Amino acid sequence: MTHEIYKKLCEHMGKRGGRYPGKDIPEFYALAEKLFTPEEAEVYVAIPKGYSPASAIAKEMGKDESQAIPVLETMANKGLCTSGSMGGIKFYGAPLFVPGIFEFQFMKGTKTQKDKELARLIHAYKQAVDAGQGPPKVTYPATRVIPIQRTISPENTIHTYHQVASYIEKYDPISVSTCFCRHEAKLMDESDDCGKPDDVCMQFGMGAQFIIDRKLGRKLTKDEAMDVLIKSEEAGLVHASINRQDIDFICNCCKCHCMIIKTALAQDKPGLTLNSGFKPVWNSDLCQACETCIDRCPAGALAMGSASVPEVDLNQCIGCGVCATGCRMPDGGHFTCGKKRHSTAAGRSKSITGCHQGEQGIVFYLTLSYIIIDCFVADAPRNDPIDRHCERR
């Protein structure tokens, strides 16, 4: 009987998909049994798609609401379901493994024996899934890179879509939690530490409220949130988020541990999979060839060119701007907005495309003294998957 419910959980999660869906392999069951009690597994399977009140979930199970609520509450505290309130009614949802349950497990940043055991089981499961299906082929970017906030000055005419800083203004509440990717690595092996800051995973709006309510992270003031962004930039972390206009999280990712960046960098041409729509351009009169940008580039997209000015490989570049924020020349870190101009696409490869909703044919030209962050060519072929995505939206 016990096994039956986990089998059911596996099938259910399998149908829901995601990077790591339910797979009928021993590693799934080892993990699922550690995460879910049989009762919780039963509740999880009963949660309809989207958000539902406890009554609806109880009904699905043929049980009473009062029986379901304590289980749902415990699950929410454990990060096995999500919850939020609207109009005084509490709703619950069933998150995927990734993004969702896995991340919630390590957001608190605790290092208990159970955390370590979970890290091991999650890792084993991910490995087994990856071994079975191979590294994911990204045909449609589910995530995107947001250029660092200083790349765009407040008075510019660029769509707020790209303004990380503007998200800070837009959303309330905002929370921060431990980077689950780096924390998971440290739970597995204490010495697996890249030295990047851990408390930089940000959530916005309803998602943030859930994190705060369930004590998976802490609430941030707007100023504190800006400090987290600045700290991340200084450390050379990439701001990454969901590829849609409204976001609910910003991951500040390192190349060595973070799933979003690692997945992208494992592709043949990560620059086509995950990018911000911007590219670096150096001012060769001012660049001092100190190679700080080359050292910082998480994608390994930069190399010193023959004229002692760095050159970018756009197949590799994700447009994160970590190069630019690291520029150590005087005022190098401060971007000023340049002029808006029409793209002629001259000298740029047509295969390099970016995604700028409603901005086709326009290049945004953001300059700082030393590195210019320039939009990718926008008049891309229509059959390009990234472009299709633009059309759809």
Partner 1 sequence: MEQWHKTGCVLCAQNCGLEILVKDGRMTKVRPDKDNPRSKGYACRKGLNVIFHQYPKDRVTQPLKRIGDRFEPVSWDQAVGEIAAKIKNLVGTHGPRSIAYMGASAQGGHFEAAFGLTLLRALGSQNFYSSAGQEFSGSWWVLGRMLGKQYNVAVPDEHHAEMLVGWGWNGMESHQMPRAPIVLREFSKDENRLLVVIDPRKSETAAIADIHLPVRPGADALLLKAMIAIILDEGWEKKEYLSRFVDGFEKIKSWFEGFDARAAIAFCQLDYDQVYDLCRLMTTRRWCMHPDLGIYMGWRSTLSCYLMNILGAVCGIFGVRGGNIIPGMVMPMGFHADERDPNVWRTVATHMPPAAAGSFPPAVMPEEILTDHPERLRAVYVSACNPLRAYPDTTAYEKAFSKLDLLVVNEIVMSETARLAHYVLPCRTYYECWDGTFFPWTYPEVFFQMRRPIVKPPGQCLEAAQIFTLIADKLGIIPQFPEELKNAAAGDRMTFGAKLMEWGMAAPDALPKMPFVLAQTLGKAWDSANLAALWGMMMTAPKAFRKNAARAGFATGMDQGDRIFQAILDNPQGLWVGQADENNPMDGIKTPSGKIEVYIPEMEQEAKTIDAATEAKALNLPDGFPLILNAGRHTKYNANTLMRNPDWNKGKRACTVAMNPDDARSFKLTDGQPVRVTTAAGSRVGELEVSDQIRKGTVLIPHGFGLIYGDETYGINVNYLTKNSHRDPLGTPIHRFIPCRVEAA
* E-assigned strand segments in the chain: 52-53, 82-86, 89-93, 143-146, 174-177, 201-204, 218-220, 238-242, 249-253, 278-282, 302-304, 310-312, 335-342, 362-368, 371-375
Alpha-carbon distance 15 to 30, whole Å? 19
Give the range of 26-34, 37-45, 88-96, 282-290 binding partner 1 by CB under 8 A: 282-290
Among 127, 284, 344, 360, binds partner 1 (CB under 8 A): 284
Alpha-carbon distance 314 to 317, whole Å? 5
Cβ-based nearer residue to partner 1, 153 or 292: 292
**Size, binding site for partner 1 by CB under 8 A:** 14
Cβ-based nearer residue to partner 1, 216 or 327: 327
- 292 belongs to the binding site for partner 1 (CB under 8 A): yes
Cβ-based nearer residue to partner 1, 154 or 305: 305
3-state secondary structure of 166: helix
Nearest distance, CB of residue 330 and partner 1, angstroms: 4
Among 155, 285, 358, 382, binds partner 1 (CB under 8 A): 285
Alpha-carbon distance 253 to 237, whole Å? 5
Cβ-based nearer residue to partner 1, 223 or 285: 285
- 306 belongs to the binding site for partner 1 (CB under 8 A): yes
Give the residue carrying structure tokens 């530490």.
193
- 66 belongs to the binding site for partner 1 (CB under 8 A): no
- 328 belongs to the binding site for partner 1 (CB under 8 A): yes
Among the listed residues 351, 161, 177, 132, the one whose alpha carbon sits nearest the alpha carbon of residue 247: 161
Nearest distance, CB of residue 307 and partner 1, angstroms: 6
**Tokens of residue 183, six digits:** 């924390």
- 307 belongs to the binding site for partner 1 (CB under 8 A): yes
Among 192, 295, 341, 342, binds partner 1 (CB under 8 A): 295
Alpha-carbon distance 178 to 258, whole Å? 12
Nearest distance, CB of residue 135 and partner 1, angstroms: 24
- 329 belongs to the binding site for partner 1 (CB under 8 A): yes
Give the range of 28-36, 42-50, 128-136, 302-310 binding partner 1 by CB under 8 A: 302-310
Among 2, 133, 308, 360, binds partner 1 (CB under 8 A): 308
Among 330, 334, 361, 393, binds partner 1 (CB under 8 A): 330
**Tokens of residue 95, six digits:** 């998150």
Nearest distance, CB of residue 349 and partner 1, angstroms: 25
- 235 belongs to the binding site for partner 1 (CB under 8 A): no
Q: Read off the DSSP letter of residue 43.
A: H
Dihedral of the alpha carbons of 217, 220, 224, 228, in degrees to the nearest 10: 40
Alpha-carbon distance 195 to 263, whole Å? 21
Distant-in-sequence, close-in-space partners of 207: CB < 8 Å, separation ≥ 6: 82, 175, 248, 249
**Tokens of residue 243, six digits:** 């590829």
Give the range of 162-170, 175-183, 225-233, 327-335 binding partner 1 by CB under 8 A: 327-335
Specify which residues 335 forms β-bridges with: 368
Nearest distance, CB of residue 291 and partner 1, angstroms: 5
Task: State the DSSP H helix or E strand holding residue 280, giving kind and residue range, or none if neither.
Answer: strand 278-282
3-state secondary structure of 331: coil
Nearest distance, CB of residue 336 and partner 1, angstroms: 17
- 290 belongs to the binding site for partner 1 (CB under 8 A): yes
Nearest distance, CB of residue 300 and partner 1, angstroms: 9
Q: Read off the DSSP letter of residue 376.
A: P
- The half-sphere exposure of 310 on its side-chain side, counting CA atoms within 13 A, is 30
Specify which residues 253 forms β-bridges with: 238
Judged by the rule CB under 8 A, the positions of this chain that interact with partner 1 are 284-285, 288-292, 295, 306-308, 328-330
